[in-house]
Amino acid sequence: MDYFFPNPKPATLVLLRQAPLGPYLGLFAKELRERGFSVGAGRKMIILIVQFGRWLRLNRITVPEITSEHAAKYTEYLVRKKRFAVKRGDAAVIRHFLDLLRRTGAIAKEVVPLLSRAEELTHEFLLYLQKERGLLATTIACRRMFVLRFLNSYITDPTVDLSALCSSDVVTFVQRQAARVSPKGAAQMLTALRSFLHYARYQGYIQIDLAAAVPAVASWSMQSIPRSLPKKQVEQVISSCNRQTAIGRRDYAILLLLARLGLRAGEVASLSLDDIDWQAGSISVHGKSGHRPHLPLPDDVGEALAEYLREGRPRLDSRVVFLSGNAPVRPIRSSVVTDVVKRQLERAGIDSPRKGAHQFRHGLATEMLRHGASLGEIGELLGHRNPDTTAIYAKVDLDSLRALAMPWPGGEI
């Protein structure tokens, strides 16, 4: 508490110590400091909990009786009475404090509601994808969405099981959903369904191969050209980072990983300290195609990572390389990498039609192709399992394509 209230007034000390939740405020303050909150932000959170405790006392609610419902009622009370300004994030602060009370045993743990049959089957399937197939969390989350939607549409009551599932059920679901999603989303939906139906047959929930009944959605391979950021603009974006700040050092290292090694946003976010071999000058990547060991670590990338780890990375008991810049300090998600790209494009004054991280990956592949690298070498660096995935970059090799072009009828003889 001394960190957030270094020179408290006597009245403030009385308020903190005599509040109904006073005995737990010290532990709460300790956690706030460990999570990287500033003095001002932490003080406001503690005062919010003090006010919550006073409301509990007015309503004669003792600490052991506190539930999540009381937190919701308190927020409604503030809005109704307009006693205090309700700020975005206040509810999350109270939820975190209640979680602390549960961990200390001061209040009872919440009863987890029973899963529906559709949720149970989906949960089993996701564990299989994680433990047996080793898929990335982002891929698993995508499949979860479509599989749960499919099972909820079929299992309408607890007595229904999968044994009566037939091909018409699968086709009907696909026909209804395909019109609501993009072509890419439709392809992901079909992949999720086939994967789940293979799993269901393996587990004995169904006896026939319904995965073969999943219809195809029209999709032409290599119908588009990879959208990449020109090399000059890539360097402009990288140099726009303000490396005098901790977040700027982090963003600079992230952009270099995207531009020099062609990593995906998720691969950058999941990068661990254990993946960097400083002695060998190499880096290991865990991507969509599994583990890609020992990619060469360019000098500028290694220097940027070292600078961030020494002078920019917050202290946290985590092996993940990149952490959030603001409290609560935690490992970043792939969406943060996308946000970094958007922010730096704007900072560099570049109006790119694409705002995501993948354009750096495409740019690297295009530059490698122009400098004579083979499609096989590009696919190995980018971690493509299927050569057809890399083949799309042949469309940007205009010099080679011109040699294959047929004379245009009516043109020069």
What are the tens digits of pLDDT across the range 350-369? 887 677 787 888 777 777 77
Alpha carbon distance 233, 239 (integer Å): 10
Residue 133 lies in a domain: yes
In a domain, 112, yes or no: no
- For residue 407, being part of any structural domain is answered with no
Same domain, 91 and 124: no
Q: Does 122 lie in the same domain as 47? A: no
Span 53-83, pLDDT tens digits: 889 988 999 989 998 888 888 888 877 765 5
Q: Which of 384, 385, 395, 402 is catalytic?
A: 384
Three-state SS at 404? helix
Q: What's the confidence (pLDDT) of residue 148? A: 94
**184 is known as an active-site residue:** no
Tell me, what's the pLDDT at 403?
A: 45
Q: Is residue 225 part of a domain?
A: no
Q: Do 252 and 182 share a domain, yes or no?
A: no
Q: Say which of 249, 292, 358, 362 is annotated catalytic.
A: 358
Average pLDDT over residues 284-313: 84
User: In Å, how far are 26, 49, 94, 398 from 98, measured between CA atoms?
Assistant: 14, 10, 6, 61
Q: Which of 250, 313, 361, 362 is catalytic?
A: 361
Q: Which domain covers residue 354, as residue numbers?
A: 231-399
Say which of 70, 249, 260, 264 is annotated catalytic. Answer: 264
Is 133 catalytic? The answer is: no
Task: Share the mean pLDDT of the chain.
Answer: 82
| Catalytic-residue membership of 264 | yes
Cα–Cα–Cα angle for 154, 156, 162, nearest 5°? Answer: 45
**What is the total count of domains within the chain?**
3
Task: Let me know if residue 5 belongs to a domain.
Answer: no
Domain holding 172: CATH number? Answer: 1.10.150.130
Q: What is the dihedral of CA 342, 347, 348, 352, to 10 degrees?
A: 30
pLDDT, one tens digit per residue, over 260-291 is: 888 888 889 989 999 999 999 999 887 665 55
Q: Name the packing angle between helices 68-81 and 39-58 (round to 10°).
A: 90
Helix axis angle for 10-18 and 22-34, nearest 10°, is 100
| Claim to verify: residue 195 and residue 258 sit in the same structural domain | no
Q: Is residue 269 part of a domain?
A: yes
Between helix 358-370 and helix 231-239 the angle, nearest 10°, is 130
Is residue 265 within 8 Å of 342, Cβ to Cβ?
no
Residue 333 annotated to the active site: no
> Tell me, what's the pLDDT at 401?
44
Cβ neighbours of residue 277 under 8 Å, at least 6 residues apart? Answer: 283, 284, 294, 297
Give the active site residue among 54, 231, 243, 288: 288
The answer to whether 288 is a known catalytic residue is: yes
Q: What is the pLDDT of residue 265?
A: 87
Q: Are residues 22 and 122 in the same domain?
A: no
Is 330 annotated as catalytic?
A: no
